[in-house]
Amino acid sequence: MDYMETYKYWLADPYFDEATKQELLAIKDDEKEIKDRFYRDLEFGTGGLRGIIGAGTNRMNLYTVRKATQGLANYIIKAGGQNKGVAIGYDCRNMSIEFSEEVALCLAANGIKAYRFESLRPTPEVSFALRQLGCIAGVNITASHNPAEYNGYKVYWEDGAQITPPHDSNIINEVNAISDWNTVKIMSHDEAVAAGLYVTIGKDIDDIYMAELKKQVIHPELCREVGKNMKVVYTPLHGTGNIPARRILKEIGFEQVYVVPEQELPDGNFSTVASPNPENKSAFELALKLAKEVGADLVLATDPDADRLGVFSRDSKTGEYMTFTGNMSGMLICEYLLSQKKELGTIAKDGFIVKTIVSTNMADKIAEEYNVELKECLTGFKFIGELIKRAEDTGVGTYEFGFEESYGCLVGTHARDKDAIVAVMALCEAAAYYQTKGFTLWDQMMNIYKKYGFFREGIETLTFKGFEGAQKIKDMMENIRNNPPKTFGAYNVVKFRDYAKNVILDVATGATTETGLIKSNVLYFDLNDDAWVCVRPSGTEPKIKFYIGVKGTSFEDADAKVKDLTAALMELAN
């Protein structure tokens, strides 16, 4: 069926409830809106299923959630994993409670035990819980840092990482194979509980999760000593981080933690921020105001599902609060962990750190400094989780740290996804340590730049919504792929990587090699002077992203180079 036929089917079929039909009738004269809601089914990307809440096949609603769950259930049964169960979590977003309940009841109707959290929990705790419980899979209802109109459906496999090939394509094939909505199974809550197929989880998992996090503390005595007086302002941005972040800091010794009161409680409308994204400085407005009032040393914010962490710290020279990019905070934690482990002699002989292809090249220098291997993977923390699993399965390599530029990292292997709760803990420990040396975290970041070089990065994102937007993004990627530039501003292209074709082209010699990674619609340009450019469509949003990296002779020089290279790249985009 085309989009209009599908629209009419939803209006006519008694399977869909009256509220859904009334919502759809309200747009009966808006063909563009009908097309956007029905021209496709939501697809799994780097973060799973994600879309705007509303009626339609291209929206997040009870029916698309049920259908996705039925497809997941079919795949689990074919894989012989139905006896292991599925862990289910959810965040603060509108409809998250309802969607997570539908997931549990659909799984139960398929004979698969559902372990559903009693209330909202961070994404990394869902990754942790499914492994703790021995589940075949996990589902978390969240749209991460997206605006309030979005919700999403993240799927994890038994290793605790978000689904990677072939599981991702196999699950979506199962979902797409469902042609009759009436074949999706469902049962009542009471029936599911009575059958022993619906189990509520909570405190027991919380306690074990917290115990695992505390194992990552390197200097517990120092945390207790300095933590008595070090002031930390924290905001969960209305999300899931409030209770676990405060708990872990309290238990390791940080007594002066101030939570932004206006953003403490869950709020699916995120009423105090334009967007609940700690990458945006505007999200810190209330936190910085509180920080100035109390004289905080450190300002932290987690996104709604608490897998990303934003950071501000004082510059001791100016007294101003300075913002960190995800690359900066990642490298700060990495340098702290490895430097302290080196002193203690606890870096594994076969240790490795992981970064994604769009993350800072400073990671290469840190790996070299501490004699650990640097592994590189595609965008998406699931690929970092995959590398952790591979090392454990083969007994080759010991994971030390992994991060991505989008404000996410993982200390330890308790989870297989980025974990802002453990990052909060690690950064506060690092801040306490450097305070004993007379440095703020910002001062230490400047020391790191002086040690390894002034690596700076930038990102530009263009949004093109709807069917026409998706086609425009596709055309832009194909045009760059088929007509790759040889220069970007003052930089020359040294190598051109086309991950969709699994080819790296040496521009000077014409020689080609393989990328060594799975195929993905990503284009990457290695430039001279340690610079680079990468272009990729988002896997979860109607966006195309342009990433850049440079190396400068100073902080200011690097930022100027970022600005110039960004301008050159945007000329290409236009």
**Is the same domain home to 411 and 473?**
no
**Is the same domain home to 388 and 268?**
yes
**Is 35 inside any structural domain?**
no
**Is the same domain home to 424 and 477?**
no
Query: Is the pLDDT score of 20 beyond 60?
Result: yes
pLDDT of residue 312: 98
**Is 1 inside any structural domain?**
no
pLDDT band for 41, please (50, 70, 90 cuts).
confident
**Is the same domain home to 190 and 220?**
no
Q: Which two tokens stand for residue 407?
A: 């404000």
Question: pLDDT tens across 368-400, in order?
Answer: 999 999 999 999 899 999 999 999 999 999 999
- Classify 267 as helix, strand or coil: coil
pLDDT of residue 47: 58
- Cβ contact 531:564 at 8 Å: no
Percent of the chain beyond pLDDT 70? 99
**Is the same domain home to 420 and 522?**
no
- Cβ contact 383:473 at 8 Å: no
Residue 545, domain extent: 455-573
Sign of CA dihedral 168, 373, 493, 408: positive
- Classify 275 as helix, strand or coil: coil
Q: What is the CATH number of the domain that holds 115?
A: 3.40.120.10
**Is 21 inside any structural domain?**
no
Question: pLDDT tens across 88-124, in order?
Answer: 999 999 999 999 999 999 999 999 999 999 999 999 9
Q: Which two tokens stand for residue 65?
A: 């959630």
**Is 3 inside any structural domain?**
no
Q: Which two tokens stand for residue 541?
A: 């949003």
Q: What is the CATH number of the domain that holds 526?
A: 3.30.310.50
Question: pLDDT tens across 165-202, in order?
Answer: 889 888 888 988 999 999 999 999 999 999 999 999 99
**Is the same domain home to 425 and 489?**
no
Question: pLDDT tens across 199-235, in order?
Answer: 999 999 999 999 999 999 999 999 999 999 999 999 9
- Cβ contact 311:281 at 8 Å: no
Residue finishing a domain among 147, 180, 201: 201
**Is the same domain home to 266 and 380?**
yes
Q: What is the mean pLDDT of residues 561-565?
A: 96
Query: Is the pLDDT score of 429 beyond 90?
Result: yes
pLDDT of residue 46: 52
**Is 29 inside any structural domain?**
no
Q: What is the DSSP string of 349-375?
A: TTEEEEEETTS-THHHHHHHHTT-EEE
Q: What's CA 326's distance to the chain center, in Å?
A: 11
pLDDT of residue 335: 98
**Is the same domain home to 432 and 489?**
no
- Cβ contact 410:418 at 8 Å: yes
Return the active site residues. 144
**Is 8 inside any structural domain?**
no
Percent of the chain beyond pLDDT 90? 92
**In the chain, helix, strand, coil percent, each to 5?**
40, 20, 35
Question: pLDDT tens across 226-235, in order?
Answer: 999 999 999 9
Task: Work out the angle at residue 201's Cα, subtended by the Cα atoms of residues 199 and 202, and round it to the nearest 5 degrees.
Answer: 165
> Left, alpha or beta for 27 (phi > 0: left; psi -120 to 50: alpha)?
alpha
User: How far is residue 330's CA from residue 326's CA, in Å, rounded to a whole number?
Assistant: 6
pLDDT of residue 571: 86
**Is 145 inside any structural domain?**
yes
**Is the same domain home to 469 and 532?**
yes
What angle do the packed helices 96-109 and 62-78 form, to 10 degrees? 40
Q: What is the mean pLDDT of residues 474-493?
A: 95
Residue finishing a domain among 406, 429, 452: 452
**Is 156 inside any structural domain?**
yes
Average pLDDT, whole number, for the chain?
Answer: 96
Question: pLDDT tens across 493-525, in order?
Answer: 999 999 999 999 999 999 999 999 999 999 999
pLDDT of residue 239: 97
Question: pLDDT tens across 240-287, in order?
Answer: 999 999 999 999 999 999 999 999 999 999 999 999 999 999 999 999
For 100-187, where are the E strands, in sequence order? 114-117, 137-141, 150-157
Structurally, the chain folds into a number of domains equal to 3
What angle do the packed helices 420-436 and 203-214 form, to 10 degrees? 30
Beginning with the edge strand found earlier in the chain, give each strand of the sheet holding 398-404 in spatial order. Answer: 373-377, 351-356, 398-404, 408-410
**Is the same domain home to 246 and 375?**
yes
**Is the same domain home to 89 and 183?**
yes
Question: pLDDT tens across 297-346, in order?
Answer: 999 999 999 999 999 999 999 999 999 999 999 999 999 999 999 999 99
Residue finishing a domain among 425, 452, 479: 452
Identify which of 326, 234, 239 has the alpha carbon closest to the alpha carbon of residue 280.
Answer: 326
The helix (H) or strand (E) run that includes residue 339 is helix 326-344
**Is the same domain home to 106 and 234?**
no
